[in-house]
Amino acid sequence: MKLIFYGACREVTGSNILLEAGGKKILLDCGFFQGSRLAEERNFEPFAYDPSTIDCVIICHAHLDHSGRLPKLYKEGFRGTVYATAPTKELARLVLFDTEKLMSEEARRSGGKVLFSQADIDGVMELFETIGYGESLEIAREVKLTLKNAGHILGSAVAIIEGEGKTLVYTSDLGNSPSELLEPPDTTSAADYAICESTYGGRTHEDIAKRHEKLNAIIENTVRQNGVLMIPTFAIERTQELLHDIEHFCQTENCEVPKLYLDSPLAQKVTQVFEKYPEFLNGKVRSAHDKDIFGLEQVTMTRTVEESQQIDGAPNPKVIIAGSGMLNGGRILFHLQKYIEDAKNTLLIVGYQAAGTLGRRLLDGDSKVKIFGKNFAVRANILTIGSYSAHADNPQMINWLSKIRGIKKVFLVHGEGSEAMSLAKSIKTKLALSALIPQMGEEYNLVES
């Protein structure tokens, strides 16, 4: 076995690892580079390998930074098989078509180029073969793939690859437990090598109970000040968790939630996928699946641009949930430019903010920001709730790794340098294991067990 790292190396974006095993070339994820404009320009660079020589791709979940360059791979010659769970396949289709639409609109405005077409998306979707949790498939000569629940988003998976006398486990993104919607990540009993994410490798998340308290207080304050609560969020998982929590808050506190808008056509479609696959949700949610678990009866869905624009004319107080989650595009920016200069309003950050994004700059305390080329003073409250993260923290990663017998080496990806280094130090001191932090393009030969 040989590993070559082509993405998410000392950064949280662009997951892409080439595994050579059983005489085949296997990709682990094929993600988009996100963040600053410079980062996203990297998506147009040629792959470091010939896509036509790739035999298969394992897509562990549908987030854009793990699936976003699949159509580009197809466009440039890939015709192998894409392995994923059924929800991942459906969510990836939604995410990719939404991305193509946004890129095409931007290209028309700026005269730029597009990365791939709708035909490329259709083509690569035809190559998908779905696999359930716990199922095993031979994906190359004497090379077996098994997917297990990663607890990150709906249908997310940990990939276990066995071949050439070795077992490799790849977390992709490992979930933050407990989750309101998903079962906790499955453990793995034995492996020779592990590739682990390290997004929050140096941190410990706050207690989930505090998240409910904080969310309740923020909503109540919005009502009290007759303000606007803006929540930039990712369409997959984070939106559904927020809707579930707000519905829970309304029921337990016997309160009247201010007018709630879900200003994201993609999130609306994603929520329908959640309702289609209840077997991928946790037992508590499954038992209540005949109920309105996302509180959709009290949510105003805005699909068209005109409906989105009408939100601003609606009376306060109100809550607006919209993408994008890192504020590097999407409808949230149109609301932000209207409300960011008023101190009675709040911007609530509930997800990871990559370096270079507007969300990261606001979290870092910038007092002035530029939106659509215009400068705005930041007077709105900028708040965050860390326990909404869908990524495991340091203690959770250490606990998950501690359950695996026989590990020779751990590779850390999908984390900024400081986070990966903190996790590597914890792995060494608490588990007595060697942890490496690959750089882009580095190769590693995995010796036999």
Per-residue pLDDT of the chain (449 residues; tens, 9 = 90+): 999 999 999 999 999 999 999 999 999 999 999 877 767 889 999 999 999 999 999 999 999 999 999 999 999 999 999 999 999 999 999 999 999 998 898 888 888 889 999 999 999 999 999 999 999 999 998 999 999 999 999 999 999 999 999 999 999 999 999 888 999 999 999 999 999 999 999 999 888 778 888 888 899 999 999 999 999 998 998 899 888 888 776 666 666 678 999 999 999 999 999 989 999 999 888 887 566 678 777 889 999 999 999 999 999 999 999 998 899 888 999 999 999 999 999 999 998 888 888 999 999 999 999 999 999 999 999 999 877 888 999 999 999 999 999 999 999 999 999 999 999 999 999 999 999 999 999 999 998 54
Residue 429: the pLDDT is 98
Structural Rg of the chain based on CA atoms: 21
Residues 242 and 377 in one domain: yes
Sheet holding 443-445, edge to edge: 128-130, 81-84, 56-58, 24-28, 17-21, 2-5, 443-445
H or E stretch including 260? strand 259-263
Structural domain that includes position 240: 208-388
Residues 229 and 191 in one domain: no
Total domains in the chain come to: 2
Q: What is the domain-level CATH number for residue 340?
A: 3.40.50.10890
Helix-helix angle 417-431:394-402, to 10 degrees: 40
Determine the Cα–Cα distance for residues 22 and 207; give it in Å rounded to an integer: 44
Residues 103 and 243 in one domain: no
Residues 245 and 383 in one domain: yes
Out of 344, 364, 388, a domain closes at 388
CB neighbourhood size of 103 (10 A): 18
Residues 6+ apart with CB under 8 A from 267: 233, 235, 236, 239, 240, 321, 323
Q: What is the domain-level CATH number for residue 102?
A: 3.60.15.10
Residue 364: the pLDDT is 93
- Give 248-251 contacts, CB < 8 A, sequence gap 24+: 248/212, 249/212, 249/215, 249/216, 249/219, 250/295, 250/298
Residue 449: the pLDDT is 46
Residues 302 and 347 in one domain: yes
Residue 251: the pLDDT is 64
Residue 432: the pLDDT is 97
Residue 395: the pLDDT is 97
Residues 41 and 172 in one domain: yes
Out of 369, 388, 407, a domain closes at 388
Residues 193 and 227 in one domain: no
Residues 244 and 147 in one domain: no
Residues 367 and 348 in one domain: yes
Helix-helix angle 265-276:238-253, to 10 degrees: 80
Residue 212: the pLDDT is 82
Residues 377 and 393 in one domain: no
Residues 150 and 296 in one domain: no
Helix-helix angle 265-276:86-110, to 10 degrees: 170
Out of 388, 406, 433, a domain closes at 388
Residues 25 and 127 in one domain: yes
Question: Is the model's pTM score more than 0.75?
Answer: yes
